[in-house]
Amino acid sequence: MDMDEERRQDRLIEILGKTLDYVANEAVVLNRLEEFFSPKPSKLASSDAEAQDLHDRVDRLVESLSGPPKRDTAPANPVKVDIYPLAAISEVINMFHRTRKSVARTHMFMIGVELQKRWPDVGKVSDEKDRGLFVENSESAFWEHAETSFIRLAAYWDRVGQTLDFVFFGIRQFERDGFSSVMDRIHCNWVPMLRDLAVMEGWKRLRVFQTSESEDGLKWLVRRRNLLVHSLHLRPVARETDGEMIDYLYNHLDLSLRKKLEPGTIEQELGRIHQQLSAAASLFPDFLSLCEYASQHIRSRKGA
């Protein structure tokens, strides 16, 4: 092995070591930093007792949908079970946790950017030119993570919609309609016949979220997701060229949507992400209530 090859091997070993440190440390840093987040990323349960109650509730729901029973209550003789209910509801829960981690990662990068801006001397980059490049790259990473958070938030509601499609209509295809279209079909097909469903508080809260165009509502979130996926990426608005940039980015949208979907500051975008995560967490019990209602009052009618 010649000298150049040895040096290349040494550089590879060094960067692999740093890669391992980065991968191993991210989860630790996120976990420790979360204590100081404001606001803190919302959870499905705020205590171990609530988490256990939620786990038990999901187990009962899965079993009521002909899914596998809990391990400690499984019958001695084998029974035929449907694994789809467990898979669908588990995917909703797993998607929430992946989304929450994405939000926490976005928040972490916001803190890093702000620390470097406000107290540049505490950072590891001392040269002013290099520090400017570091801040620029950190801001770019924040916007990338913010995009991912918005896309995953919308994807979470897609999973919720797919599960509701199964429990209300027996459709079990993961590529089917999203949350909004399924809610509309429930509203048109079942609500007129079932008065108790129409007045259910959980249904009403989910319906308000689904039809809301505010920044903590589904319509705003889906429009933001669709723009990020198909048309543009997030970036801070440059006010001195505001008109030109907005005309370029949003020339296919009407003026009202320009205002509603316009990217804000780092702090504003992080706030919007937290609002949407909070809505997902607070409405999760209502999603379970709808599934429980369908299991008791709709699937029995259909002989499911």
* pLDDT tens by residue, 41-95: 999 999 999 999 999 999 999 999 988 887 655 556 666 788 999 999 999 999 9
Q: How many CB atoms lie within 10 A of CB 238?
A: 9
Given a cut of 60, whether residue 239 has pLDDT beyond it is no
Assigned token pair, 65: 């949908």
Q: Which residue has the higher pLDDT, 279 or 115?
A: 279
Checking if the pLDDT of 245 tops 50, the result is no
The mean pLDDT of 187-191, rounded to a whole number, is 95
pTM to 2 decimal places: 0.84
* DSSP conformation class of 128: H
Tell whether the model's pLDDT for residue 149 goes beyond 50: yes
pLDDT at 199: 96
User: What pLDDT was estimated at residue 240?
Assistant: 44
- pLDDT for res 258: 56
Alpha carbon distance 295, 304 (integer Å): 9
From 59-73, 128-142, 153-167, 210-224, the region with the lowest mean pLDDT: 128-142
Distance of CA 160 to the CA centre of its chain: 11
Q: Are 195 and 157 in contact (CB under 8 A)?
A: no
Rounded CA-CA distance 45/292 in Å is 19
Mean pLDDT within 165-184 = 86
41-45, 89-93, 101-105, 111-115, range with the lowest pLDDT: 111-115
**pLDDT score, position 259:** 61
Helix axes 284-297, 48-64, angle to 10 degrees: 30
Nearest to 226 by CA among 216, 218, 235: 218
In single-letter form, the type of residue at position 181 comes to: S
pLDDT above 90: residue 272 = yes
Burial 130-141 (b: 16+ CB within 10 A, else e): ebeebbeebbee
Q: What is residue 248's predicted lDDT score, i.e. its pLDDT?
A: 44
Report the alpha-carbon distance of residue 144 to residue 138 in Å, rounded: 10
Say what percent of the chain tops pLDDT 90.
52
Query: Which one is predicted more confidently, 20 or 104?
Result: 104
Widest Cα–Cα separation across the chain: 81
- Please check the confidence at residue 21 and state whether its pLDDT lies above 90: no
Joined tokens for residue 197: 């469903």
Question: Would the pLDDT of 154 be above 50?
Answer: yes
pLDDT number for residue 265: 87
| Whole-number pLDDT of residue 125 | 56
Find the Cα–Cα–Cα–Cα dihedral 267, 271, 272, 275, rounded to 10°: 180
Buried b / exposed e across 159-176, counting CB within 10 Å, b at 16+? bbbbbbbbbbbeeeeeee
Quote the pLDDT of residue 255.
Answer: 53
Q: Which residue has the higher pLDDT, 77 or 293?
A: 293
Assess whether the previous peptide bond of 39 is cis (omega < 30° from 0): yes
**Which residues have a Cβ under 8 Å from the Cβ of 81 and sit 6 or more positions away?**
66, 67, 68, 69
Region 240-265: mean pLDDT is 54
Which one has a higher pLDDT value, 30 or 73? Answer: 30
- 216: DSSP letter: T
Across the chain, mean pLDDT equals 84
Mean pLDDT of 121-148: 75
Nearest CA to 98 out of 87, 86, 90, 109 is that of 90
CB distance 66 to 82 below 8 Å:
yes
* Mean pLDDT on 136-150: 89
CB 157 within 8 A of CB 280: yes
Least confident of 8-12, 19-23, 35-39, 235-239: 235-239
- Per-residue pLDDT band for 13 (boundaries 50, 70, 90) equals confident
